[in-house]
Amino acid sequence: MSSKLKFINKDKSTFYATTRQRVEIHLKEKGISRNANPAMWGKTAFYLLVTAGLYGLIMSNEFGVWPMFGLALLLGVFSAFIGFNICHDAIHGALSSNSKVNKVFSFVFNLIGASPYVWNLTHNVVHHTYTNIPGHDEDIEVAPGLIRVDTNEKVNKLQRFQHIYAFGLYSLSSLSWVLRKDYVKFFKKQIGAQDTANHPTKEYYKLFGYKAIYYVLFIVLPLVVLDITWWQFIIGFVSLHLAEGLVMGLVFQLAHVVEGTDFPEPNAQGNMEEAWADHQMRTTANFATKNRLAGFLLGGLNQQIEHHLFPKVCHIHYPGISEIVKKTAHEFGLPYIESPSFSKALGSHYRMLKKLGWQDYKTQQIAFEVENAPETSLALS
């Protein structure tokens, strides 16, 4: 069981206080609210309308098998975009200054099969606090025993090839989320270092009730309404989630498992010796920050550094504060890890997986052979 750990800021770093002050001054001078602006509300309407439209086209039963298959893939991708652009900000309380508005848009998360309550616990509370700390941040535990990111974990034979099969596992993440993950996390007594043994009674009803609504919308109604066979439905449903899962898995992994990011361990007393914000700079990465399309599609998740430092600032403002964060990080001698494009970040992630799998396995084997080599003696002549 993980023990509660603290960031004790041994060196008394003032990086975060300085960055926060500069960002607040920037927002005030520009007259910018921390929350959504008209462009953000336009994005919100766009993603909601397109996603609802794709679902409606599928349920219209007016298309053949192959167009339906394409629509299912698109619906999966846009479901991920809904999560990135709307639900993520809303659950963080960044979309609106009105908590009721955030609650309304957080509810949309249920309609793509995920629990906003469980996500708040695993992501907002645990991941954002204990980023990339093995045994505490369960977001980096994609598939225990199959994917290795903890350098203290022994490499097994299968993990030698994780750089090859990892992307297939990422594709399964949405299916797991809808059918398994939320239930497992909800009934765990502890997530990372966070005690999760006692939930409000209403959350039990919400978890099962909203999951039931999703299953009706995406399983029962299609089987009843659509003129397709059961196996065609399964192909469409699974393909939707494979597309959604691949998009989600890649975006989340490129933010924390790339070359240059750390996976630090607590000290002997079970604490992190540096400041929390300094830790975020060592464990988080950006990619494709100058690409406007990436910014529009990914809801600021390609600017994870800014997001981790300012999770209650709407992602649409991240481009405007990124140079402030970068400049301040350099002043304090902290890394600002970024890849210029999605493809560069993807390559970095691939090399990271290979290093943590194949290369570390070879090093481990060499060390084992040296340790267990029979002692030899030279005959004296």
Residue boundaries of the structural domains of the chain: 15-367
Q: Work out the mean pLDDT of the chain and round it to a whole number.
A: 93
Element (H, E) at 246: helix 230-254
Q: What is the DSSP string of 133-200?
A: -TTT-GGG-SSTTTS---TTSPPPTGGGGHHHHHHHHHHTHHHHIIIIIHHHHHT-SEETTEE-S---
Give the mean pLDDT of 160-187. 95
- pLDDT score, position 217: 97
pTM for the full predicted model: 0.92
Q: Is the pLDDT confidence value at 379 over 50?
A: no
Q: How confident is the model at residue 141 (pLDDT cuts 50, 70, 90)?
A: confident
Percent of the chain topping pLDDT 90: 86
94: pLDDT strictly greater than 70: yes
**Two structure tokens written together for 51:** 């996603």
Report the pLDDT averaged over residues 335-359. 96
Mean pLDDT (whole number) for 310-339: 97
Tell me, what's the pLDDT at 369? Answer: 82
In this predicted structure, what is the pLDDT of residue 205? 97
* DSSP run (H or E) holding 286: strand 285-287
pLDDT of residue 378: 43
Which pLDDT belongs to residue 3? Answer: 59
Once rounded to an integer, what is the mean pLDDT over residues 263-291?
A: 94
pLDDT, position 144:
81
Largest Cα–Cα distance in the chain? 93
Q: What is the distance between the alpha carbons of residues 74 and 63, in angstroms, rounded to a whole number?
A: 15
Mean pLDDT for the stretch of residues 92-98: 97
Residue with tokens 């909601």: 48
Tokens of 58: 């599928």
Q: What is the pLDDT of residue 1?
A: 41
- Report pLDDT for 253: 93
End-to-end CA distance of the chain: 59
Residue 197 has pLDDT above 90, yes or no: no
pLDDT at 49 over 60: yes
**The pLDDT value given to residue 377:** 45
pLDDT, residue 194, reads 79
Report which residue type is found at 286: N
Residue matched to tokens 């990914």:
298
